C-alpha cells in the first residue's frame, strides 16, 4: 500500500477503537461487569445474545484458518472447519440441561459441586491457557495486514489493536463486550458480503463447490476430527460458556442454536476465499486472506481488514471479560474465600496484565493454527465430564481420570509420540483423527471406571451443583 493508504488504514484502526469506546456502556458493578446485566439488572435480549455468541466465536484466526484450509483442500477444508461451529448448539443444549436439571449457575461452580474443587481448579487452569492463546492469536492476525511477521508495522498494529480493544473493554466488561458485539457483527456481515461479492465472481459456483476431494487425505480426516471435538471443544472456552448463564434458559438455547447455524454458514462462506486462492494458484503462506486481499485493490483490501478487525475485536474483548471474571470471581471461590470487595477493579487489572503478557507469543511468531487443533485434542476428556454428568453422583475421580487422560493424549500428539498404528487413513490429520477417536473412547471409559470398580449401577443422578 502507498503512504496515503497506509495512513488511512492506521486511522481506521484508531477510529474503530474510538467509536467502540463511545458507544459501549459503562458498568461499575459486578452484575454489569461480569454478567452483562444493564443498570436495571436485566440480562441481554435473546437477539443481542445471539449476535454476541455468533461474532465472539468468529475469531480472526478462525476466519484465517478457514480460508487457509479452503486453499489447501478446497470446499472439503471449508466444511471441515465450519463444522466446529456446531459446538455452539451442542454447548447450548448441554448448558440448558445443566441449568434446568442439575441447578448449575456456572461451569466452575457446577464442577465444584459435582467433581470437587480440585477438578474445578484443573479446569480453570485449562481455560486460562485457552484465553491466553486467544490474545496473541487474534492480535497477530490483525498485525499481518499491516506488515510481515516480526516487522515494526506488524508489531505496532498488533499492539495498537490490543490497546484500543482494552480501552473500551475496561469501560464496561462483559456489558460492553455484548453491546459492541452487536455492532461488530453487523460490520462483519456487511464487509464479509463485500469481500465475497468482490472475490467469488471470478469463478462459477460449480467450480468453487466442486473443488477438492471427499477422501480422508483430501480433508475428510479433519472433518471427522471436528465432528468428534464438538462434544468437548466448546466447554473449555468461557467466551462461549459464560454467555450460557446470563439470560433465561430457553432464550439462551434458541440464541445458541441460531448463532451456531450462522457461524457455520459464515465460516463456510469465507472459506470460499481460500478456494478462490486455490483456483488462482495462491496456496503458499500462512495467511491466505491477506495474500488474496493484496490483489483486490484499495476497496477490497479495506473490506478484508474490516472483516478481520471486527472479528478479532469481538473475540478479544470477550476474552478480556472472561479473564477478569475467572481471576476476580472464580479463583477466589475455588480458594474458599468470600467474593472480593473490589472485584471489578481486580478484573480490570487482570485485563491489563493479560493484554501485556498475552502478546508475548505474537512477538515470537507462533503458528496460529496450533492454538486451535492441539488444545482441542487436549480437552477431549471434557466430553464425558459434561455430557454424562447426570449419570454420576459426586465423583472427583471420574473427572480426573477423563480430564488427565485427554490432556496426556493431547500432549503426546503435540510432541509426535502417538504410535503410527493409531493413524486413520494416510492424510495430514490421520494421527489427529486416530488420537481423537480412540482418545474419546478411552476418556469415556475412564470417566465411568470408578462406578464400575465400585460395583455401582449407572443411574441418573441429578443433584444440584
Whether 339 and 385 share a structural domain = no
Instruction: Among 39-53, 187-201, 248-262, 265-279, name the most confident range.
Output: 248-262
pLDDT, mean over the chain: 88
Q: How far is CA 6 from the centre of its chain?
A: 30
Q: Which of 382, 49, 396 is nearest to 242 (CA)?
A: 49
Residue 311, in any domain of the structure: yes
- The length of the chain in residues reads 465
Whether 350 and 381 share a structural domain = no
Contact between 341 and 30 under an 8 Å Cβ cutoff? The reply is no
Contact between 167 and 149 under an 8 Å Cβ cutoff? The reply is no
Residue 386 has pLDDT above 60, yes or no: yes
Q: Which of 366, 384, 404 is the last residue of a domain?
A: 366
Whether 342 and 237 share a structural domain = yes
pLDDT tens, residue by residue, 166-216 = 999 999 999 999 999 998 898 888 888 888 888 888 888 888 999 999 999
Residue 118, in any domain of the structure: yes
Contact between 232 and 383 under an 8 Å Cβ cutoff? The reply is yes
The pLDDT of 398-426, averaged and rounded, is 94
Least confident of 179-188, 364-373, 381-390: 364-373
What pLDDT sits at residue 431? Answer: 95
Residue 465, in any domain of the structure: no
Instruction: Write the DSSP symbol of residue 237.
Output: -
Residue 225 has pLDDT above 60, yes or no: yes
Under DSSP, is residue 120 helix (H, G, I), strand (E, B) or coil? helix
Residue 127 and residue 181: Cα distance in Å, rounded? 21
What pLDDT sits at residue 371? Answer: 45
Least confident of 302-306, 357-361, 459-463: 459-463
Q: Which of 361, 319, 386, 351 is nearest to 123 (CA)?
A: 386
Q: Which of 386, 121, 127 is nearest to 242 (CA)?
A: 127
Whether 210 and 108 share a structural domain = yes
Residue 245, in any domain of the structure: yes
Residue 67, in any domain of the structure: yes
What pLDDT sits at residue 463? Answer: 43
Which residues, in sequence order, are CB contacts of 121 under 8 Å at separation 6+? Answer: 334
Whether 343 and 392 share a structural domain = no
What pLDDT sits at residue 240? Answer: 92
Whether 269 and 382 share a structural domain = no
Whether 313 and 408 share a structural domain = no
pLDDT tens, residue by residue, 97-121 = 999 999 999 999 999 999 999 999 9
Instruction: Write the DSSP symbol of residue 246.
Output: S
**pLDDT band at residue 250 under the 50/70/90 scheme:** very high
Q: Which position has the higher pLDDT, 45 or 5? A: 45
The CB density around residue 197, as the number of other CB atoms within 10 Å, is: 11
The CB density around residue 285, as the number of other CB atoms within 10 Å, is: 12
Whether 154 and 77 share a structural domain = yes
Question: pTM of the full predicted structure?
Answer: 0.89
Number of domains in the chain: 2
What pLDDT sits at residue 373? Answer: 40
Residue whose grid cell is 464487509:
191
Q: Which structural domain range is residue 256 located in? A: 44-366
Residue 404 has pLDDT above 70, yes or no: yes
Whether 184 and 112 share a structural domain = yes
Residue 346, in any domain of the structure: yes
Which residues, in sequence order, are CB contacts of 182 under 8 Å at separation 6+? Answer: 48, 51, 52
Whether 187 and 107 share a structural domain = yes
Residue 31, in any domain of the structure: no
The CB density around residue 457, as the number of other CB atoms within 10 Å, is: 6
The pLDDT of 52-60, averaged and rounded, is 87
Least confident of 2-6, 131-135, 342-346, 427-431: 2-6
Q: Which of 348, 366, 384 is the last residue of a domain?
A: 366
Whether 321 and 446 share a structural domain = no
Q: Which of 366, 399, 428 is the last residue of a domain?
A: 366
Residue 4, in any domain of the structure: no
Residue 76 and residue 64: Cα distance in Å, rounded? 16
What pLDDT sits at residue 365? Answer: 65
What pLDDT sits at residue 1? Answer: 52
The CB density around residue 103, as the number of other CB atoms within 10 Å, is: 14
* Cα Rg of the chain (Å, integer): 22
pLDDT tens, residue by residue, 323-368 = 999 999 888 888 777 766 788 999 999 999 999 998 888 887 655 4
Instruction: Write the DSSP symbol of residue 423.
Output: -
Q: Which position has the higher pLDDT, 194 or 79? A: 79
What pLDDT sits at residue 462? Answer: 45
Whether 380 and 318 share a structural domain = no
140: CATH: 1.20.1730.10
422-440 burial, b at 16+ Cβ within 10 Å, e below that, comes to bbbbebebbbbbbbbbebb
Amino acid at each position: 500500500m502507498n503512504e496515503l493508504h497506509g495512513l488511512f488504514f492506521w486511522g481506521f484502526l484508531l477510529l474503530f477503537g474510538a467509536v467502540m469506546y463511545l458507544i459501549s456502556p459503562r458498568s461499575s458493578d459486578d452484575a454489569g461487569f461480569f454478567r452483562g446485566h444493564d443498570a436495571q439488572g436485566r440480562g441481554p435480549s435473546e437477539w443481542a445474545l445471539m449476535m454476541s455468541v455468533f461474532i465472539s466465536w468468529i475469531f480472526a484466526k478462525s476466519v484465517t484458518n478457514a480460508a487457509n484450509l479452503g486453499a489447501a483442500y478446497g470446499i472439503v477444508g471449508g466444511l471441515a472447519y465450519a463444522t466446529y461451529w456446531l459446538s455452539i448448539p451442542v454447548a447450548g443444549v448441554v448448558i440448558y440441561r445443566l441449568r434446568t436439571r442439575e441447578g448449575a449457575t456456572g461451569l466452575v461452580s457446577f464442577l465444584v459441586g459435582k467433581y470437587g474443587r480440585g477438578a474445578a481448579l484443573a479446569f480453570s487452569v485449562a481455560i486460562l491457557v485457552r484465553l491466553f492463546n486467544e490474545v496473541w492469536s487474534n492480535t497477530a492476525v490483525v498485525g499481518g495486514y499491516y506488515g510481515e511477521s516480526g516487522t515494526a508495522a506488524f508489531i505496532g498494529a498488533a499492539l495498537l489493536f490490543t490497546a484500543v480493544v482494552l480501552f473500551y473493554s475496561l469501560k464496561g466488561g462483559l456489558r460492553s463486550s455484548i453491546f459492541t458485539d452487536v455492532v461488530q457483527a453487523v460490520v462483519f456481515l456487511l464487509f464479509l458480503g463485500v469481500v465475497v461479492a468482490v472475490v467469488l465472481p471470478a469463478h462459477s459456483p460449480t467450480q468453487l463447490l466442486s473443488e477438492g476431494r471427499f477422501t480422508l487425505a483430501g480433508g475428510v480426516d479433519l472433518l471427522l476430527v471436528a465432528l468428534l471435538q464438538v462434544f468437548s471443544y466448546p466447554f473449555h472456552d468461557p467466551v462461549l460458556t459464560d454467555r450460557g448463564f446470563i439470560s433465561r434458559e430457553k432464550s439462551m438455547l434458541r440464541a445458541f442454536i441460531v448463532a451456531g447455524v450462522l457461524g457455520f454458514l459464515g465460516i463456510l462462506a469465507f472459506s470460499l476465499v481460500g478456494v478462490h486462492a486455490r483456483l488462482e494458484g495462491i496456496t503458499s503462506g500462512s495467511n491466505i486472506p491477506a495474500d488474496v486481499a493484496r490483489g483486490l485493490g484499495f476497496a477490497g483490501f479495506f473490506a478484508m481488514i474490516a472483516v478481520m478487525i471486527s472479528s478479532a475485536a469481538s473475540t478479544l474483548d470477550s476474552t478480556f471479560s472472561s479473564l477478569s471474571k475467572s481471576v476476580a470471581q472464580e479463583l477466589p471461590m475455588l480458594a474458599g474465600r468470600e467474593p472480593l470487595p473490589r472485584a471489578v477493579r481486580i478484573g480490570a487489572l487482570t485485563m491489563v496484565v493479560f493484554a501485556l503478557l498475552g502478546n508475548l507469543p505474537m512477538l515470537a511468531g507462533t503458528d496460529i493454527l496450533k492454538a486451535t487443533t492441539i488444545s482441542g485434542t487436549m480437552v477431549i476428556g471434557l466430553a464425558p465430564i459434561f455430557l454424562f454428568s447426570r449419570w454420576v453422583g459426586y465423583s472427583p475421580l471420574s473427572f480426573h481420570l477423563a480430564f488427565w487422560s485427554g490432556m496426556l493424549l493431547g500432549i503426546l500428539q503435540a510432541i509426535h509420540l502417538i504410535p503410527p498404528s493409531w493413524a486413520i487413513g494416510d492424510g495430514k490429520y490421520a494421527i489427529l483423527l486416530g488420537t481423537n477417536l480412540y482418545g474419546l473412547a478411552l476418556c469415556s471409559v475412564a470417566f465411568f471406571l470408578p462406578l464400575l470398580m465400585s460395583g455401582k449401577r449407572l443411574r441418573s443422578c441429578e443433584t444440584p451443583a
